């Protein structure tokens, strides 16, 4: 399915203010925002620091642009809420934090509409959001629970190979890095990287004093996620 950041979808969303589109129209990728890929950070309420990993998305977009495999329209992140009409301009949303996440009923409906229409939400646990995030996902998709992705999934294979799963950047709960997803029709709608800290790993050098090999692994995995968002 085409991604929801198409100009027509944006127009429909703006025209309906905060009403939920029942089935946003699809169009050619030639109509993508500014002719390329970009990412928006999802702002939420509840007390969690949605703004953490401040340099992560900027670094990811720059790395994608440098590689040249994915056409990138801008090298800075945008910030949207679930009910923001601008959400339809972005193929992928990123969310992170250490604390509680809340979504109103209107926000939950709007976010599900975006995801069902082709969007991808990547949630990266920054240690502390697991319980509330899982509760919100259960609200969004009671019929499709989070399930762990097998290492054979495309996210672990292209364009970079991770035969043993996602890299683990920081120790949290002591277990292995794990990647979960809500899937529908064979497509990932919600991607959840848990006990990984990929977002920390792609921040500016020196913020966490991670060794170069960990930072490189985190960026390679983040590139896989962005590539999946473009191609599925």
Find the CATH number of the domain harbouring 30. Answer: 3.40.50.12140
209: left (phi over 0), alpha (psi -120 to 50) or beta: left
Residue 183 inside a domain? The answer is yes
Residue 223 inside a domain? The answer is yes
Residue 127 inside a domain? The answer is yes
**What token pair was written down for 177?**
């890095």
Q: Taking the model in full, what pTM does it have? A: 0.84
Please tell me the distance from the alpha carbon of residue 35 to that of residue 142, in angstroms, as a whole number: 35
Residue 36 inside a domain? The answer is yes
Please tell me the distance from the alpha carbon of residue 170 to that of residue 99, in angstroms, as a whole number: 17
Question: What average pLDDT does the chain have?
Answer: 84
Does 205 have pLDDT greater than 90? no
pLDDT tens digits, 81-140: 999 999 999 999 999 998 899 999 999 999 999 999 999 999 999 888 999 999 999 999
**What token pair was written down for 40?**
């928006």
The whole-number pLDDT of residue 26 equals 30
Residue 104 inside a domain? The answer is yes
Residue 1 inside a domain? The answer is no
Residue 226 inside a domain? The answer is yes
- Indicate the pLDDT class of residue 35, thresholds 50, 70 and 90: low
Query: Domain range for residue 93?
Result: 7-231
Query: In which element (H, E) is residue 184 found?
Result: strand 178-184
Residue 2 inside a domain? The answer is no
Number of domains observed in the structure of the chain: 1
């Amino acid at each position: 399915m085409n991604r929801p950041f198409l100009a027509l979808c944006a127009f429909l969303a703006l025209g309906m203010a905060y009403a939920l589109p029942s089935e946003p129209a699809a169009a050619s990728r030639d109509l993508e925002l500014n002719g390329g890929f970009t990412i928006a950070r999802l702002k939420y309420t509840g007390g969690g620091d949605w703004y953490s990993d401040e340099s992560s998305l900027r670094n990811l977009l720059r790395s994608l642009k440098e590689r040249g495999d994915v056409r990138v329209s801008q090298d800075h992140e945008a910030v949207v809420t679930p009910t923001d009409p601008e959400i339809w301009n972005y193929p992928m949303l990123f969310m992170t934090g250490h604390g509680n996440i809340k979504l109103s009923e209107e926000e939950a409906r709007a976010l599900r509409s975006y995801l069902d229409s082709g969007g991808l939400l990547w949630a990266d646990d920054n240690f502390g959001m697991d319980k509330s995030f899982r509760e919100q996902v259960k609200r969004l998709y009671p019929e499709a629970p989070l399930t762990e992705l097998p290492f054979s999934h495309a996210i672990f294979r292209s364009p970079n190979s991770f035969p043993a799963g996602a890299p683990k950047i920081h120790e949290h709960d002591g277990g292995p890095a794990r990647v979960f997803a809500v899937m529908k029709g064979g497509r990932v709608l919600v991607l959840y990287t848990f006990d990984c800290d990929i977002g920390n790993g792609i921040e500016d050098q020196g913020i966490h004093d991670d060794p170069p090999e960990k930072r490189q692994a985190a960026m390679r995995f983040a590139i896989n996620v962005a590539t999946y968002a473009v191609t599925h």
